[in-house]
Amino acid sequence: MALKTLQYLKDSLIKILIYPTRDKYAYKVSKNDYLELLIVLRNILSLNHILGFFLYQNLSTDNVDNMSDSKVYFTDMHTSLNDSLLNKLKRVIIAAGITDIDMEKKFVAIKIHFGEYGNLAFLRPNYAKVVADIVTEQSGIPFLTDCSTLYVGKRKNAVEHLDTANLNGFNPMTAGCQIIIGDGLKGTDDVELPVENGEYIKTAKIGRTIADADIIITLNHFKCHELTGFGGALKNLGMGCASRRGKMELHTSGKPTINTENCRGCMKCTTVCAQNAITVTSKKAKIDLNKCVGCGRCIGVCPFDAITAQFDETMNIIDYKIVEYSKAIISEKPNFHISIMADISPYCDCHSENDLQIIPNVGMLASKDPVALDKACVDLAQKQPMIEGSRLYNNCNGKKPDDIFRCTNPGTDCNATFEHAEKMKMGNGKYELIEVA
């Protein structure tokens, strides 16, 4: 309690005394900031009789504060000689309120993507250890988790998935906790969770281990994605926690198309399609849409950009379904979200390669609101300079586009996610960005 009080005091004083003098993120001191400071003073000075009832009436203790913009905490990637990014990550997570969650003797799932073997853009286990250590310090029982994939690769069952996690450096020593694959040996161990007011999904098929956890923390590598535009907290939740049949349900509306003029018949796409949906005759590929489940794996593997997601609403529907899956996962349990904006590659970490990042590393963010967190990441990314020679840079011929995600992966629409998430009352697209040193 004392630590929390001191943290509130520090945060409130920083915001009230320092931020109004800085304009980097146009931070505005809100009524709630002053109220938070009053709460701290009340805790320290025991002035309950003066402040108590009024303050409790005006401050929400819900996961997402509906009174005002959600708070997203941010720290950049700069360090000094006596500091480290790991220390900064810990500070930003604590500032964002991770220790507000009662973790005592609770199973805490830390949802991460271990990276396909060959990919080097995935988050290092060092980041996960910071989170796991905080959970342990709060007397929680942390474990790292992810569910198996729909496509052919090295994470399509629990054994290969664990092998890949180990090869990529994740083990109890490096990650600070055990690793459990969320949907069982063959990706079939799931639980159906209801989606309240779901428009596209009635029950989300979620890996049983994740569904059984008491608390969920997402540790997200923020990057581009070939079907959803970007990958952040909602993608890590909605797609990443889905079992194989859940992933099928999410993917089946979005199917790619082949530009036969670009196709050279190299057959690389056929080797990654787990559904055997692609055939190549006379050096031209063809997709059997009845077999295709829309996993998007073939899009990134084609060296000649002959396969693209279709320019129709189906990709938006995938976005909507991901939102509804996410809602099912977190609606009944405490949750917290962390995104690392580094190595922002043009495709998902499911790829066994990672092309040059499209923009420089940005920073680390944390929030109790996954929607606000994703929106803040997207907005920050849009402001960054392009990296010359990246897929983004080449796609737009060096002229910065309005939407770097759509330009990197044509046909994607980030706004579809946010509009549906707000409609589903999952979180807040409006946020205050609060910098933590």
Q: CB 299 → ligand SF4: shortest distance, Å?
A: 7
Using CB under 6 A, pick the residue from 248, 266, 356, 396 that binds ligand SF4.
266
d(CA 94, CA 120): 28
Using CB under 6 A, pick the residue from 39, 93, 219, 277 that binds ligand SF4.
277
- 297 lines the binding site for ligand SF4 (CB under 6 A): yes
Measured from the CB atom, the residue of 133 and 313 that comes closer to ligand SF4 is 313
Using CB under 6 A, pick the residue from 180, 204, 239, 273 that binds ligand SF4.
273
d(CA 421, CA 44): 38
**Residue among 90, 87, 85 nearest 342 (CA):** 85
Q: Residue 180 carries which DSSP code? A: E
- 293 lines the binding site for ligand SF4 (CB under 6 A): yes
- 390 lines the binding site for ligand SF4 (CB under 6 A): no
Q: CB 168 → ligand SF4: shortest distance, Å?
A: 23
- 304 lines the binding site for ligand SF4 (CB under 6 A): yes
Using CB under 6 A, pick the residue from 201, 307, 323, 404 that binds ligand SF4.
307
Instruction: Map tokens 């997709």 to a residue.
Output: 287
Using CB under 6 A, pick the residue from 275, 395, 412, 417 that binds ligand SF4.
275
Helices (H), 273-313: 297-301
Using CB under 6 A, pick the residue from 92, 217, 272, 433 that binds ligand SF4.
272
- 317 lines the binding site for ligand SF4 (CB under 6 A): no
Using CB under 6 A, pick the residue from 165, 287, 348, 436 that binds ligand SF4.
287
- 302 lines the binding site for ligand SF4 (CB under 6 A): yes
Give the three-state DSSP class for 354: coil
d(CA 265, CA 273): 15
**CB-hemisphere CA count at 13 Å for 271?**
8
d(CA 11, CA 31): 14
Cβ(215)–Cβ(222) under 8 Å?
A: no
- 258 lines the binding site for ligand SF4 (CB under 6 A): yes
- 318 lines the binding site for ligand SF4 (CB under 6 A): no
- 296 lines the binding site for ligand SF4 (CB under 6 A): yes
Instruction: Map tokens 């890996």 to a residue.
Output: 207
**Residue among 430, 328, 296, 436 nearest 375 (CA):** 430
Contact window for ligand SF4 (CB under 6 A) among 113-121, 241-249, 268-276, 332-340: 268-276
**Residue among 148, 114, 155, 145 nearest 217 (CA):** 145
Contact window for ligand SF4 (CB under 6 A) among 40-48, 232-240, 274-282, 386-394: 274-282
Ramachandran category for residue 429: left, alpha or beta (phi over 0 → left; psi -120 to 50 → alpha): alpha
Q: CB 150 → ligand SF4: shortest distance, Å?
A: 8
d(CA 195, CA 120): 35
The residue ranges that bind ligand SF4 (CB under 6 A) are: 256, 258, 263-269, 272-273, 275, 277-278, 280, 285, 287, 292-298, 302, 304, 306-307
